[in-house]
Structure 1
Amino acid sequence: MDLSYTDVANRYRRQTLSILADERPLSVSELASRIVAHPSNDATNESTETQVRKARLALYHVHLPKLDESGLVSYTHETGEVTVPEGVADDLAEIAETFRSQMDE
């Protein structure tokens, strides 16, 4: 798999790949909720509902199309389902482990 820095430069994209390595398929809403609930995310004064809404919009308009274009995820606008393509799943587990260890530091 050919992974570029821009594919994983954003926290939402790294967390998306990490989450999908363990569980798929997910809806955009489920994915946004898990990203917001991740312990590495900074505390904010916004309600959880507001954070999830913002994450969902960012995923929908920016991050999922970029990951889909790079071939790291399969994202269907019509169904809102996010999954990992067949040939990527094995590599994604290894990549996700690297992200997790870096997020824990």
Structure 2
Amino acid sequence: MSRDSIEFDTVLDLCRDQHRRIVLAVLAEEHRSLTVNDLSKAILKYNHHAPVTEVSEEVLAEIRLSLYHEHIPKLASKGVIEYDPERQHVVPTERFDQSQPLLSSIIEADPGLQVPVAL
């Protein structure tokens, strides 16, 4: 298997979950580090179609838990983000930048997201 096919498979795997697609899309649009709170709000906006003020604390807690325990670790393990747990910052890496053409194509093909995905 060539390096390109591994990269393609990695990007497909990362984009398998809609929450991760939203996180990746927001990071791509914002071009900066974001907090877990920022990412939670984006997921509420694009997946639940509701602002923070209109959802229960339980829903927000579930989203944060999924970010902390599933999505952020998966993205970090593939090297597309770095995560600072003390500051709760997610920072896109050089590998994230290199994956942009593939990520953009997949995100644009998602009928559930209206591109651009912004905070």
Same fold (TM over 0.5): yes
**What range describes the TM-score normalised by the shorter chain of this pair?**
0.7 to 0.9
Aligned length: 101
Q: Paired residue for 1:52?
A: 60
Q: Which of structure 1's runs of 4+ aligned residues deviate more than 3 A?
A: none
| Cα distance in 2 between the residues matched to 1:95 and 1:8 | 8
Structure 1: stretches of 5+ with no match in the other structure = none
Deviations 1:39-85, CA, capped at 9 Å, x for gaps: xx2569xx524322211111011110111001111111121100210
TM-score by length of 2: 0.70
Please say if residues 73 and 85 of structure 1, whose CA atoms lie closer than 8 Å, have aligned partners that are also in contact: yes
| Cα distance in 1 between the residues matched to 2:49 and 2:33 | 27
Please say if residues 17 and 92 of structure 1, whose CA atoms lie closer than 8 Å, have aligned partners that are also in contact: no
Q: Paired residue for 1:103?
A: 111
Q: Paired residue for 2:116?
A: none
Percent identical across equivalent pairs? 26
Structure 2: stretches of 5+ with no match in the other structure = 114-119
